[in-house]
Amino acid sequence: MTSMGLEARIEDYLAGRMPHASDLRVSGLARISGGASRETYRFRLSWQESGALQSRALILRRDPPASLIDTERRIEFEAYRAFFGSTVPVPEMLWLEESSGALDHPFFIAAEIEGFQAAPALLWTEPYLAAHEKLAERKWTILGEIGRSDPAVLGLTTVMAAVAPEACWSRELGYWEGVLDDDQTEPLPITRAAIRWLRANPPPPPERLAVVHGDYRTGNFLFDQTGEIHGVLDWEMAHLGDPLEDLGWSLNPVWTFGRDLAGGLVPNAQAVAIWERSSGLKADPAALQWWTLFNCVKGQAIWVSSARAWIDGGNREPIMVYPPWALQNAQDRAILKVMGHL
Amino acid sequence: MKPDISEVLIELSALVARNAAPDIPPADRAGALGLTAALLAIAGRQWDEAAHNLALENRSIRSLLTIPGEDLDIRISTLSAENARLRALLIERHVEVEGRDSRAEAEIWAELVASTARRLAPGSPV
């Protein structure tokens, strides 16, 4: 690790990536709180080019020493790039660095979409309360558009692992059960019962294979006061699979924020109807229940991993304690609810 | 509750001390202290209830599984270790009765529902 400040190291790195620029300056570097799987910073880059002073607001997403989600940042980077300029709004990706030399850990730099909000807590205050219907319409319409897009046309079949339609459910369940096996810090009788039910009642293959965002929920997109969405963020768990998987994650009861509404916004049936209209797909109720319960198990695996990363000492940030303390029991209650026991 | 409350409180005390330094950027300080406040609120609630709830739950699971024993050492670390042992046995029992003994299954689900009520954190979304 070098003793240079992060600003100077970013300037050095970008000087090598911007051969026509000179006098690069990083200013206003600030960590954005909330990111537990990547360290996220906002900063402004200014530079001289063609005799003029230029400036741009940028985002740095850097791998932390230990994360609650182990993901490939190239897949995240390419997923953003694939949807840039489409009806699915995403920030523009600029540089990806997969080595650890420049900033100690792999990272990417993207353009910042300025002037909008992501924090769910704002949604329960004025003037956002009046925008819930519109926001829900946009939220599940965009998710439907992700589900109807062709991964091959997007160029994502070359970077994301292939999966046979009939294996979508078993690959995902096997992966997250493995995470629980590796990372659990105490027995989880409710989550284990859910896994047994999921294995005994598998869903049918998807109507079509799609790009699955993997973390599509209120809190992972940028919104304004009118309910418009300006950027879908956090593609780090993106993969190929059943589009119902994303719909199920968006209906995970932990994302109701205590309001008993999908994403804290509208009743589940309304969210599903918007998604069906946009995606052109049918959300079979039994299959959707399976994917919603699966996502409760996945959520639990993520919260447990967070506890494990803290306990093992790899990451002692307080954000790593919050998920297991605040969400692990809520996730168990979500499982009980989806299974009809609560 | 994992990570252990006592270990987290020690770590948070160091974090607060670091953020008392005058040269911490305001955004970093706000992020660190906001989360610290949320964690302290959860720990504060658990402080009074943790031993009671663990002892209650251990007694309930022993009764359900007809296992003899009692909690003589009421340190939270000891109660937690016993709770983990008993909940592992509860999983085994659940697997045994699933689809075979609906009454036993219902009793286990009732205990599991009660266990989440005991663990409710302030502001829990579910």
Q: Is A200 exposed, middle or buried (0-12, 13-18, 19+ CB in 10 A)?
A: exposed
Picking from A118, A108, A27, A123, the residue whose alpha carbon sits closest to that of residue A61 is: A108
Structure tokens at B21: 């330094």
First to last CA, chain B: 17
Those residues of chain A whose CB sits closer than 8 Å to some CB in chain B are 30-34, 185-187, 189-190, 192-193, 196, 253-258, 307, 310-311, 316, 318-319, 321-322, 324-327, 329-334, 336-337, 341-342
Residue-range definition of the domain harbouring residue A173: 120-338
Distance CA A135, CA A302 (A): 27
Give the C-alpha separation, A287 to A291, whole Å.
Answer: 6
Instruction: Kindly state the tokens that stand for A191.
Output: 């989550």
Task: Tell me, yes or no, whether A128 and A99 share the same domain.
Answer: no
Q: Residue A338's closest CA among A330, A328, A8?
A: A330
Clarify whether residues A67 and A105 are in a common domain.
yes
Indicate if A36 and A15 belong to the same structural domain: yes
Neighbours of B88 (CB within 10 A): 14
**Chain B residues inside the 8 Å CB shell of A327:** 125
Is A50 in the same domain as A168?
no
Query: What CA–CA distance (Å, rounded) separates B89 from B98?
Result: 14
Give the nearest chain A residue to B13 (CA atoms). A318
Interface touch B3/A253, C-beta < 8 Å: no
The answer to whether residues A106 and A239 belong to one domain is no
pLDDT of residue A314 exceeding 80: no
Chain B residues whose beta carbon lies within 8 Å of the beta carbon of residue A333: 116, 124, 126
- Nearest-by-Cβ selection for A325 from B25, B39, B88: B39
Q: What whole-number distance in Å separates Cα of residue B86 and Cα of residue B63?
A: 11
State the Cα–Cα distance between residues B112 and A297, nearest whole angstrom: 16
Say whether both A275 and A255 belong to one domain.
yes
Give the residue-averaged pLDDT of A91-100.
Answer: 94
Could you report the predicted ipTM of this complex, rounded to two decimals? 0.93
What element of type H or E holds A78?
A: helix A73-83
pLDDT band for position A2 (cuts 50, 70, 90): very low
Measured CA to CA, the distance from residue A99 to residue A83 in angstroms comes to 25
d(CA A91, CA A112): 7
Q: What band does A35 get if pLDDT is binned at 50, 70 and 90?
A: low
State whether A291 and A146 are in the same domain.
yes
Same domain, A106 and A156: no
- Within a domain: A1: no
Rounded to a whole number of angstroms, the distance from the CA of B74 to the nearest CA of chain A is: 19
Q: A180 pLDDT exceeds 50?
A: yes
Q: What is the pLDDT of residues B53-98, one digit of tens each?
A: 999 999 999 999 999 999 999 999 999 999 999 999 999 999 999 9
* CB contact set of A134 (below 8 Å; sequence gap of 6+): A226, A227, A228
Q: Are A95 and A138 contained in the same domain?
A: no
Beta bridge partner(s), residue A221: A232
Asked if the bond preceding A206 is cis, omega within 30° of 0, the reply is no
In this prediction, residue A319 has a pLDDT band, given cuts at 50, 70 and 90, of confident
E strand map for chain A: 22-31, 39-49, 52-62, 93-97, 107-111, 210-212, 221-223, 229-232, 239-241
Q: Domain boundary residue among A111, A145, A177?
A: A111
Do A183 and A36 have their domain in common? no
CATH code, domain with A239: 3.90.1200.10
| A66 and A214 fall within a common domain | no
One domain for residues A288 and A166: yes
For residue B83, list chain A residues with Cβ-Cβ distance below 8 A. Answer: 186
- With CA atoms as reference, report the closest residue to B42 among A21, A329, A209: A329
Answer yes or no: do A318 and B39 touch at CB < 8 A: yes
What CATH number did the domain enclosing A92 receive?
3.30.200.20
Across the interface, whether the CB atoms of B112 and A336 are under 8 A apart is answered yes
Give the position of tokens 């063609």. A50
Annotated domain spans of chain B: 5-118
Q: Between the ranges A139-153, A305-319, B44-58, B111-125, where is the mean pLDDT highest?
A: A139-153
Closest partner residue to B91 (CB to CB) among A32, A192, A325 is A192
C-beta separation of A318 from A36 below 8 A: no
The band of A33, judged by pLDDT with boundaries at 50, 70 and 90, is: low
Work out how many domains chain A is built from and give that number: 2
Residue A222 lies in a domain: yes
Taking an 8 Å cut-off on Cβ atoms, the answer to whether A258 and B8 are in contact is no
Residue A211, pLDDT > 80, answer yes
Please compute the mean of the pLDDT values over residues B108-123 and round it to a whole number: 94
Which residues does chain A have within 8 Å of residue B28's beta carbon, measured at their own beta carbons?
A: 30-31
Look at residue A1 and tell me whether its pLDDT is greater than 50: no
CB-count burial class (<10 Å; 0-12, 13-18, 19+) for A219: middle
CB contact under 8 A, A186 and B12: no
Task: Assess whether pLDDT exceeds 50 at residue B11.
Answer: yes
Q: Tell me which of A44, A79, A111 is where a domain ends.
A: A111
pLDDT digits (tens, 9 = 90+) for A102-143: 999 899 999 999 999 999 999 999 999 999 999 999 999 999
